[in-house]
Amino acid sequence: MAALSRYGRLLFAGSKRVLSRSFFGSSREGGKGSQSKVLGGTSAPVYELQVHNVKPEHMKDYLSLTEDQYTRLNSSSSIPVDLIGSWTVQVGLNVDQTLHLWRYKDGYETMDKVWTCLKEDKEWQDYSHNKLANQIYSRSSQVLVAFTFWDPAGLESETKRGLYEMRTYTLKAGTTIEWGHEWRQGLKFRDKREAVGGWFSQIGEMHVVHHLWGYENLVDRRDTRQQAWQEPGWDQCVRETVPLIRHMEARILRPNSFSPLQ
């Protein structure tokens, strides 16, 4: 309750400052270069987050079929794409939903090459346009760039976490750089073991940020998050970033059997 009431006070304090941002802009949103260059560097890989809304009665068959295809792609030497993680939503707005995170190591050049390869891959085309169509309601994807201040080692960890949380924030237009500025400092107050990855959207729904956290279980999540409030400086990160948010969603995820991140 103490953390909750503190959060409420910070939200109120931040709401007063957001009015000045709305009229006068943010002093931290300036700087030379595009948003992707300022926050993601100039030679970073790009990522694709695929979201599938699965028909409940087909979930078992869907996972089996998807495992076959994703494992095949991930092990192929001719298709240069890496599956980082694959999860099923356990708690969220849609619990019959799966998330798949892919990495294109050399950026858009790699993505173009993969798309060309998949267009000519008959097995993939049959999966994507025929078999998959019968098992899902809808699908969407976003192209993402990772924040440079987020340690990429979190994506390479062989530690079996067991439970993940994807926090998705839709920000007010023009505030992503300010978000990155605050989180560059704020991430220092979070447990390094829980920080898996952080990205912002480049194609698809815009002004969207994703933070991925890893835990052993819900108790570990609770304790780790409460510990952050004991760190001087974490409250400032919350105070400065809450007013930038238009909408947010938290999803608890379980890794699928074929997910590299477990």
pLDDT in tens, 218-240: 999 999 999 999 999 999 999 99
What is the identity of the amino acid at 68? D
pLDDT for 36:
64
- Are the folds of 2-41+146-255 and 46-83+93-139 the same? yes
Task: Please give the biggest Cα pair distance in the chain.
Answer: 57
Full-model pTM: 0.86
145, HSE (Cβ side, Cα atoms, 13 Å): 24
pLDDT over threshold 50, residue 213:
yes
- Name the band, by pLDDT with cuts 50, 70 and 90, for residue 18: very low
> What is the fold of 46-83+93-139?
Alpha-Beta Plaits (3.30.70)
Phi-psi region of 136 (alpha: psi -120 to 50; beta: other; left: phi over 0): beta
Q: How many CB atoms lie within 10 A of CB 210?
A: 21
Percent of the chain with pLDDT over 70: 84
Q: Please list, residue by residue across 108-140, b when 16 or more beta carbons sit within 10 angstroms of its beta carbon and e when fewer do.
A: eebbebbeebeeebeebeebeeeebeebbeeee
Residue ranges per domain, the chain? 2-41+146-255, 46-83+93-139
Per CATH, the number for 2-41+146-255 is 3.30.70.100
Q: In this predicted model, which residue has the larger pLDDT, 193 or 96?
A: 96
- Name the band, by pLDDT with cuts 50, 70 and 90, for residue 73: very high
